Structure 1
């Protein structure tokens, strides 16, 4: 299925790209993760039904809805743009109608900057599709680690189309360890960046 067909399956509207024009050097344009990529990811890595996933720079909510649809995990989308946030709320209403309210409350959206998001004690999977500069990424990772200090647990980071800046920060300036890469079949052969990079940090004392 193409992206429009999968959107229709989920009852949402997430296709397209949105460029900010002259805005902030820290914020990247909106572009949803391709469904074929999300499918490949969840074939190899599957959050549990008790997982709490956070999608930073969630846009219109595609990743949040798809993960919830495939795994039943709770997902929180964090978005700073007002129009995209409104689009995500509209999509949530459409998604719940499609799902006949069976999963009500399991997909939520918050409008705030990523570095201002208060990481919850149960949040354990964090998703990034290059939503902002590496300096903001570093702040978000720091917030995640502070949360783990307060409530020890295992946390995973998922980076789609990972940049060298993001990877370098995790490798050289964080305790996260690289688990594996998940390539997107049909795309990675043409572009090696078409992959997911998975990182993990565990602390239980």
Structure 2
């Protein structure tokens, strides 16, 4: 379970934005955290992502030397453990500022109720948040997820057995589902 967000923070607390790039089984991940918690995980990570994110959050970006992270040390450690097959549930403080409204409700329900090694259909997840027939809206919420892998949008699939879409690319989704034992390991 991720640690609940502590609610609104003082703006001066979150002007510090630590970021890094980490290698993973699905390619480079861009990670960013405020003092409130992990705020962004992004596939196909590049340094170019920090400036727009910092502007969006009104923060000053800091990239500490590898191994010297303060805010990202635990997310980096837990992601490495997850990709090694040693972690099944993230225990991290999250900064939810990049998600709001229906999208946040859906993402929090996903994080809370769909454990490692299982999947849920878009329509079923919509019904869980009181929006039966809202499968497409759930798909949009998955596409807006600022914290993929940690908030496991890869676990949402089509009701007919199809894998569905994925912002990190379908091979990344297949790799994550295979890691969790839901699909066979990819051949390439």
Which protein is richer in strand relative to its size?
1
TM-score, length of structure 2 as denominator length: 0.26
TM-score, length of structure 1 as denominator length: 0.25
